[in-house]
Amino acid sequence: MDGLLIDWGGVLTTSMLGAFDAFCAREGLPEATVRDAFMGDARQILIDLESGAIDIATFERRLAPHLRTDPTDLARRLTQDVQPDHAMRDAVKRLHDAGVKTALVSNSWRAEDYDGLDDFDAVVLSQPLGVRKPDPRIYRRALDELRLPATECVFVDDLGGNLKPARQLGMTTIRHERASSTIAQLERLLLPRRS
């Protein structure tokens, strides 16, 4: 394996779902309010944001009634508990430094959500591309930028629905749950020839 494609939120950061639950606790909402909205009647609003069809202000204005909350600075409030996962970021840096080609593949909300991108040979964000995971085109774009075939790449995401199209393209996939197990799998797959 010569390439790593990896998600941002919930993989290189702490859990997005955990941040949504923390938002609900602060706002006095039932714990699953945000999750339920994004799986239900507010799903299209999220899709429109991540595919670049609407801007963040429109997203906040449209989403607020579904959450029964103020739209002011809503995106930041939803994600304020998201923190870097330093173990995962350090692992990406080690792999990159060892010669593994790396691509960030993320359904994006705001450009300022991303930092420390020097360890990526390619950064593929859904908004500017106009395509979001799990659409196979976003994975193909990352593979094109890395100039690698799918069969030589590993894709890591915390959402199973995003792994299926990567597998169908020929990639090896890892569902991220915790840094220790993901890093062990990445090192087994990507480092043998480089050690």
Assess contact for 153 and 3: CB atoms under 8 A: yes
Residue range 170-183, pLDDT digits in tens = 999 999 999 999 99
Handedness of CA 180, 184, 185, 189 (dihedral sign): positive
**Beta-strand pair 122-125/101-106:** parallel
**CATH code for the domain in which residue 145 is found:** 3.40.50.1000
Is pLDDT above 80 for 79?
yes
Domain that holds residue 23: 16-79
Q: Specify whether 29 is located in the same domain as 113.
A: no
pTM over cut 0.85? yes
The amino acid present at 183, given as its one-letter code, is I
Give the domain-ending residue among 31, 46, 79.
79
Closest to 137 in 3D by CA, of 176, 108, 158, 168: 168
- Is there a single domain that holds both residue 9 and residue 102? yes
Domain boundary among 25, 52, 79: 79
Both 75 and 164 in one domain: the answer is: no
Task: For residues 38 and 133, state if they share a domain.
Answer: no
With a CB cutoff of 8 Å and minimum separation 6, the contacts of 87 are: 179, 180, 183
Backbone angles phi, psi at 61, to 5 degrees: -65, -40
- Check if the beta carbon of residue 10 is closer than 8 Å to that of residue 107: no
Distance CA 8, CA 20 (A): 16
- If asked whether residues 140 and 181 sit together in one domain, one would say yes
Q: DSSP character for 135? A: S
Q: Where are the beta strands (DSSP E) in 53-144?
A: 101-106, 122-125
Domain termination residue (choose one: 34, 50, 79): 79
Domain count, the chain: 2
Q: Is 16 helix (H, G, I), strand (E, B) or coil?
A: helix
The model's pLDDT over 28-47, given as tens digits with 9 standing for 90+, comes to 999 999 999 999 999 999 99
